[in-house]
Amino acid sequence: MTSNSSSSKNVFLDIDPTIVEKNLRFTADPSEDEFSKMFQQPEQYPSKLVKPFPGFCIKTREVGSDSKFFVNICHTDAIPPPKDITEKELANILESDDIADYRVPMSIGDVRTETDKKGEEARVSDVAIHPDFFQKIERSVLFKNFFITIVFEGLKDKHGIITHDDKIILKNRKAFGTLQVHRIQQREINEKMKNVSGASIIEDSTKRKPLIETISSGEIPCRSPEYKLFRRRVQPNCLIGEFKFPDVISTKELTLDVGEDRIVIESTSKHYLLDIFVPLVIRQSSCTSIFNKSTKILTVTMPLVGG
């Protein structure tokens, strides 16, 4: 299942409850096909949203399709820095057969599609690190080459992205497309490999290569809102989602992110987090949302691809 939640349309509309249709409620309706039980919801973890700053952009091509692939290297202090070591220490680590206790915290974003100046589509992902480590790789060729190597290892493990060896750092471009918001979560790192939204955990069974470390945060644990997902039989090519936030006052407290097969809604002020995958393909550019201030229900209308 491919998620592309970062390429989303995030549009809210606050409305007067008197003009809301009665069928936009948490009620059973024989004209609706209920889908909520089919959706996959990950466990909830402490989380926060961060918008990284641009750094530099790497251009390469994917093996097989030979399509262009861009990686935006960006930075945010919401991600912890790795251990501060010297070039000599890094060289010793890379040459050593012993266990290397050197991990680089980074946030690997989802893969999305952007359009270049010629109107051609290319795939892109953002990788965020701490500003101090970003400065180090800017100053050191050894650290930069090492970092680029593990970035593409992470992209391969998380998204299955395999690229050619030729990689070009663009001189006059800090980022390709628009940098996306990263949702940083705290998770255990005792598994060999586990994907998380905005981060990748990789354990090297040989213990010979430096590792990519998961990102942690000290946020208050989030709660999941009550929600309902359905398709109306008179309009089967459109997925409807109703999400209830009893203590949310306005849409300024909500962040909605709709991907091809994923829905993410978060309220950092009220500590809500819903992250679900759907067994359908959503037409992201056509999604709309309405928040009813009276019922506290966010209704998201999501047309489906092929409909």
Q: CA-to-CA distance for 215 and 245, rounded, in angstroms?
A: 28
Q: CA-to-CA distance for 208 and 294, rounded, in angstroms?
A: 58
Residue that has been written with the tokens 């213990």 in this structure: 207
298 pLDDT band, cuts 50/70/90, is: very high
Asked whether 261 and 305 are in contact (CB, 8 A), the reply is no
Residue 34: the pLDDT is: 58
Which of 179, 213, 247 lies at the terminal end of a domain, its last residue? 213
The answer to whether residue 79 scores a pLDDT higher than 80 is yes
8, part of any domain: no
Which of 213, 241, 271 lies at the terminal end of a domain, its last residue? 213
Domain that holds residue 128: 47-213
Question: Average pLDDT, whole number, for the chain?
Answer: 76
281, part of any domain: yes
Return all residues near 171 (Cβ < 8 A) that are at least 6 apart. none
Helix (H), strand (E), coil (C) string for 79-91: CCCCCCCCHHHHH
Residue 233: the pLDDT is: 84
Least confident of 32-36, 58-62, 225-229: 32-36
- Regarding whether 198 and 180 lie in a shared domain, the answer is yes
Per-residue pLDDT tens over the stretch 147-165: 999 999 889 888 889 999 9
Residue 66: the pLDDT is: 74
Which of 213, 241, 274 lies at the terminal end of a domain, its last residue? 213
Least confident of 27-31, 203-207, 300-304: 203-207
Least confident of 124-138, 164-178, 188-202: 188-202
Q: Give the CA angle between residues 197, 150, 127 to the nearest 5°.
A: 40
Asked whether 68 and 248 are in contact (CB, 8 A), the reply is no
- Regarding whether 250 and 296 lie in a shared domain, the answer is yes
255, part of any domain: yes
Q: What are the tokens at 208?
A: 């010979």
- Regarding whether 159 and 34 lie in a shared domain, the answer is no
For range 43-49, the mean pLDDT: 57
- Regarding whether 52 and 37 lie in a shared domain, the answer is no
- pTM (2 decimals)? 0.53
The answer to whether residue 242 scores a pLDDT higher than 60 is yes
Q: What are the tokens at 225?
A: 């809102």
The answer to whether residue 143 scores a pLDDT higher than 50 is yes
Residue 47: the pLDDT is: 58
Residue 139: the pLDDT is: 95
Asked whether 174 and 57 are in contact (CB, 8 A), the reply is yes
